[in-house]
Amino acid sequence: MKKMTKNIILAGTLLFTFNVNAMPNMGLSAPSNSDYYDNGMPSAEKVKLGKLLFFDKILSGNQNISCATCHHTLTDTGDGLSLPVGEGGQGLGITRDTGTGSDAIHARVPRNAPPVFNLGAREFTRMFYDGRVAVNSGHPSGFDSPAGDDLPDGLDNVLAAQAMFPVTSAEEMAGQAGENSQTNAAAAGNLPLVWEIIANKLRNIPEYVDLFKDAYPDSISQASDITYVHAANAIAAFEAQAWRFDNSPFLRFLKGDRKALSPSEKKGMRVFYSPRKGNCASCHSGPFQTDHEFHAIALPQIGPGKGDDFDGHSDFGRERVTGNPDDRFKFRTPTLSNIALTAPYGHDGAYDTLESMVKHHLHPRRSLRNYDTTQAVLPSRPDLDAIDFIVMNDTQRVNEIASASEINRTRLSHRDFKHLMDFLHALTDPAAIDLRRNTPSRVPSGLPVRD
């Protein structure tokens, strides 16, 4: 099956070399409603509820951070930073600071807050850079996740399963042990209690009770019926609808509009798909430019790290999930939907521009060794700054990252590089440029939504 697809793509690429317009779609087809959950039409009541929850700090332990803080409408569903400032920070986007006094953050969040575009398409079966939340029909809940058997039944899809976790993380939304009951439960590893504590907060807000009843007429008739699973399913419905963007010039081209791409963008598409040029589609395949697999491309490792190696400052990526050393430094191939809008790039936001990210792919080892740390977008605080580049300053660890790279060297002419960049800009859906319409003016808890 895999081989067949490959051959189709190859055959496509050859044809393509002669005449871009003669080549209909490189074996690709644009997504349509049936490729999304609920046929692309989740219930309006669930979406309405999910939108409010996504922006409501009531879900966090200290009621000071929402999903939107890190996945904001002003920063294209990311936060504009290399690494997020989680619970305890203040402000939004690149002006967010590390907080003050005893509330100040204890550490940076170790990975970049990724954009959350098009995750309501069924083909996205693995969440997070290391795929630690993933569809698994063999598991009673239907999903593999860090919660194991504690993950409850009734989650609509993997996006909903993902929404169970940010509220359990001390750095992201729960807060530090001792600060609140939500964190204490999380620190004790009692995730069901975390979810129960949040559900209880929601049960006590009459406006939410009505919204939950509207969204789940069959299963919720009174406040006590509300669970965090209902909340997660609503958040997923909102994300699937609000962040669906499949009207980029590239996808319009796939749908048959031959004029959707400019001549330079078409040439760039050839560079992207041709194995003899950019060869990008060997990993960034499919309509959303991802094979959903894990690859090592020698990205610079910055920030506090995920707790790996002797001092905890490394991030072993996929190996953290599989335990297989062959998976060390592999990260999930990201989708490139709206990629021009979502700097910084990579699992730790190491590259601040699209150009430097793409150039990294062309010569990964050299780019890793010459990494310019000044491009990292990290709010400064001396104790945090002191550990940000520990791995990059350690030649042995840099060498280990370099030698794991699956890409050696890709030679592109200046002209081809320019066309490639033009093509990447043609992956932007115009509707994604301004997302303010998806911001509620208020949330039922009454907590502020403007920061």
CA distance 25 to 291: 17
Q: Count Cβ atoms below 10 Å from residue 127 Cβ, excluding itself.
A: 23
Closest alpha carbon to 230 in 186, 198, 193:
198
**In the block, which residue shows the tokens 């403007």?**
450
Which one of residues 134, 151, 358, 426 is an interface residue with ligand HEC (CB under 6 A)? 358
CA distance 57 to 34: 33
Q: Does 304 bind ligand HEC (CB under 6 A)?
A: no
CA distance 138 to 223: 33
Which one of residues 161, 235, 427, 435 is an interface residue with ligand HEC (CB under 6 A)? 235
DSSP string over 181-239: HHHHHHHTT-HHHHHHHHHHHHHT-HHHHHHHHHH-TTT-SSGGG--HHHHHHHHHHHH
Q: What is residue 377's three-state secondary structure?
A: coil
Shortest CB 316 distance to ligand HEC, Å: 12
CA distance 228 to 220: 12
Q: Where are the alpha helices (DSSP H) in 56-165?
A: 67-70, 158-162
CA distance 409 to 362: 5
Shortest CB 81 distance to ligand HEC, Å: 9
CA dihedral (249, 252, 256, 257) positive or negative? negative
Shortest CB 221 distance to ligand HEC, Å: 25
Which one of residues 47, 113, 302, 392 is an interface residue with ligand HEC (CB under 6 A)? 113
Stretch binding ligand HEC (CB under 6 A), from 1-9, 23-31, 166-174, 320-328: 166-174
Shortest CB 48 distance to ligand HEC, Å: 16
Q: Between 120 and 159, how does the x/- string for binding to ligand HEC read (CB under 6 A)?
A: -------xxx-----------------------------x
Counted residue by residue, the chain has a size of 451
* Interacting residues with ligand HEC between 262 and 281 (CB under 6 A): 278-280
157 and 166 in contact (C-beta within 8 Å)? no
CA distance 290 to 335: 5
240 and 159 in contact (C-beta within 8 Å)? yes
Size of the site for ligand HEC (CB under 6 A): 51
Shortest CB 407 distance to ligand HEC, Å: 5
Residues whose CB falls within 8 Å of the CB of residue 219, separated by 6 or more in sequence, listed in order: 225, 230
CA distance 116 to 304: 23
Task: Using the minimum distance from each CB to ligand HEC, give the nearer residue, 173 or 443.
Answer: 173
Shortest CB 420 distance to ligand HEC, Å: 6
Q: Does 290 bind ligand HEC (CB under 6 A)?
A: no
Q: Between 394 and 423, how does the x/- string for binding to ligand HEC read (CB under 6 A)?
A: ------------xx--x---------x---
Q: How far is CA 230 from CA 128, 273, 274, 318, in A?
A: 22, 41, 45, 30
Stretch binding ligand HEC (CB under 6 A), from 16-24, 98-106, 282-290, 387-395: 282-290
Task: Using the minimum distance from each CB to ligand HEC, give the nearer residue, 215 or 218.
Answer: 215
Task: Using the minimum distance from each CB to ligand HEC, give the nearer residue, 79 or 253.
Answer: 79
345 and 351 in contact (C-beta within 8 Å)? yes
Task: Using the minimum distance from each CB to ligand HEC, give the nearer residue, 133 or 260.
Answer: 133
Stretch binding ligand HEC (CB under 6 A), from 39-47, 147-155, 220-228, 335-343: 335-343
Which one of residues 56, 144, 172, 422 is an interface residue with ligand HEC (CB under 6 A)? 172
Which residues form the interface with ligand HEC (CB under 6 A)? 59, 65, 67, 69-71, 84, 86, 109, 111, 113-114, 116, 119, 127-129, 159, 162-163, 166-167, 172-173, 235, 278-280, 282-284, 295, 297, 299, 331, 333-334, 336, 339, 342, 345-347, 354, 357-358, 361, 406-407, 410, 420
